[in-house]
Amino acid sequence: MSDLSKLPGDLEALEVRLRQDLSWLELPAKSWVPTREVDGRTVVDVVIIGGGMAGLVASGMLKRMGVANHLVLDKAPAGQEGPWVTFARMRTLRSAKVLTGPAMGLPALTFRAYYEACFGREAWVALDRAPRETWMEYLIWYRKVLDLPVRNGLSVNSVLPRADGMLDLICSEDSKKEKIVARHVVLATGRDGLGGPFVPDIAKSIDQKFWAHTADDIDFAMLRGKRIGVIGAGASAMDNAATALEGGAARLDMFVRRRELPRINKFTGIGSQGVVHGFAGLPDEWKWRFLNYAMGQQTPPPRPSVLRVSSFEQAHLHLGSPIADLKQEDDHVIVTTPKGSYAVDFLIFGTGFKIDLSNRPELAAVAPYIRLWQDRFPTPAGMENGELEGSPDLGGAFEFLERQPGSCPALSKIHCFNFPATLSHGKLTGDIPAISEGADRLARGIVRSLFVEDREKHFASLQAFDTPELLGDEWAEDEALFELSSERT
């Protein structure tokens, strides 16, 4: 057995092992989807929009299942996909280091294998959680060792249904426009993939120069010596507060609606293979009940993030303090809560993300036809929940469904593989733990659809296939016995 524990810098050995594992498993499977052409150009079987973690695993699964003709497009430069080295401001991931997440069941593709190969077994044992930059480096390595077909710097601006049932993707790279024809499109567009950052309307009462959302590119150097207000107490709110304090903020006030910080991570607490594979089978009212309850309880900020903030004496926590008013006064803002008024120079909204299809120009042509849960499922009494009501009602392979049957058949070719899929499928998208299971469900569904759609071609191949297994000389009929038995009858 190879020992990956000895030396840091054994990444090459790990890659050799991964290649060996893949070859023992006969992976990737042979390519089998018949080629199509439109206007003399090859149609891409699947285009995945987004080359973050979800897009990479989706690509890995499709490749594994022999859908070789697919592409991953990301507007971000290579190595900067997703939040990890852009707007994420935590030191480490929240997730336990042992989660196998994107590894698709391959031991040599796990974060642990990667980390031990880079830094040694002792470093792994000493590691508490994955530093976010190291997680990004792991994703970069993942893409490289699986040789995934990612194109960076390409924005998908619109997804347009075609008369022949396929989809046109209008893309741009700097000022250059490009059209790609695809049979299926996967939206691996991230936490805000069907919407954007959520900021309460009250923010509009002050000039934009006084505030930012945690997902914005914030120049923390400019906040040095300033009074900062943070609204919300989720993970991102806490990490932004810590970054401001570490950058030299003179004072930090965190305003939290609740009377207590949530302490228990409910949904993670009951995580199991039962939840992963069983959630999608729940009756609708139970799906709603589970998620509405978990959302109501809220996810606590990670303990290290809270300690990172509370270690500063100029940090002040205000519980039971919803924002009642924001008023601009000269070069600062007065924040009023039921408990008092506070002067701040800059506000950071840690208020999460929302689903809002009108925020996604790439989906403008199809958005009016997408069925949401509120179009089909009456909200259970006492469980009103805007986010769940606005969630897309998805089919078995994460594909959109039509609000009016027949109004936009192309929706069945657009797969929503991002966080808003949770109500339909459970937590198989949007975070690390079960992303491989999600990608497996997605890829199987696409494979089924591609095969069924090409049935005539596959049937023609069946008829045309003429490579003999038997050569005809293996066993001849016994003629004497044949004559005898013919006489008796």
Ligand X SMILES: Cc1cc2nc3c(=O)[nH]c(=O)nc-3n(C[C@H](O)[C@H](O)[C@H](O)COP(=O)(O)OP(=O)(O)OC[C@H]3O[C@@H](n4cnc5c(N)ncnc54)[C@H](O)[C@@H]3O)c2cc1C
**Which positions lie near ligand X, rule CB under 6 A?**
49-55, 73-76, 81-83, 88, 93-95, 155-156, 188-191, 236, 362, 418, 430-432
State the DSSP code for 409: G
Residue 414 CB, nearest approach to ligand X (Å):
13
Is the bond leading into 378 cis (omega within 30 degrees of zero)?
Answer: no
Residue 367 CB, nearest approach to ligand X (Å):
14
- CA dist 44 and 35 (Å) reads 9
Residue 133 CB, nearest approach to ligand X (Å):
13
User: Of 55 and 301, which has the nearer Cβ to ligand X?
Assistant: 55
162: tokens are: 């075609």
Pick from 7, 51, 57: which is nearest to 438 by CA?
57
User: Of 95 and 379, which has the nearer Cβ to ligand X?
Assistant: 95
User: Of 362 and 387, which has the nearer Cβ to ligand X?
Assistant: 362
Residue 223 CB, nearest approach to ligand X (Å):
18
User: Of 304 and 380, which has the nearer Cβ to ligand X?
Assistant: 304
Q: How many residues does this entry show for the chain?
A: 489
User: Of 108 and 169, which has the nearer Cβ to ligand X?
Assistant: 169
- CA dist 172 and 121 (Å) reads 44
- CA dist 461 and 302 (Å) reads 56
- Return the biggest CA–CA distance within the chain: 115
- CA dist 321 and 260 (Å) reads 11
69 three-class SS: coil
User: In what helix (H) or strand (E) does residue 329 lie, and over which residues does it extend?
Assistant: strand 325-329
Backbone angles phi, psi at 83, to 5 degrees: -85, -15
User: Of 298 and 379, which has the nearer Cβ to ligand X?
Assistant: 298
- Any idea what the Cα angle at residue 169 is, between residues 163 and 175, rounded to 5°? 135
DSSP letter for each residue of 272-321: SHHHHHHGGGS-HHHHHHHHHHHHHH-PPPPHHHHHHHHTSTTEEEESS-
Residue 328 CB, nearest approach to ligand X (Å):
29
Q: Please tell me the chain's helix, strand, coil percentages from 3-state DSSP, rounded to the nearest 5.
A: 40, 20, 40
Residue 379 CB, nearest approach to ligand X (Å):
26
Pick from 256, 260, 240: which is nearest to 87 by CA?
240
Residue 146 CB, nearest approach to ligand X (Å):
15
User: Of 88 and 241, which has the nearer Cβ to ligand X?
Assistant: 88
Residue 64 CB, nearest approach to ligand X (Å):
18
User: Of 227 and 413, which has the nearer Cβ to ligand X?
Assistant: 413
Residue 154 CB, nearest approach to ligand X (Å):
6
User: Of 77 and 406, which has the nearer Cβ to ligand X?
Assistant: 77
What lies within 8 Å, CB to CB, of 286 at 6+ separation is none
Residue 433 CB, nearest approach to ligand X (Å):
6
User: Of 301 and 390, which has the nearer Cβ to ligand X?
Assistant: 301
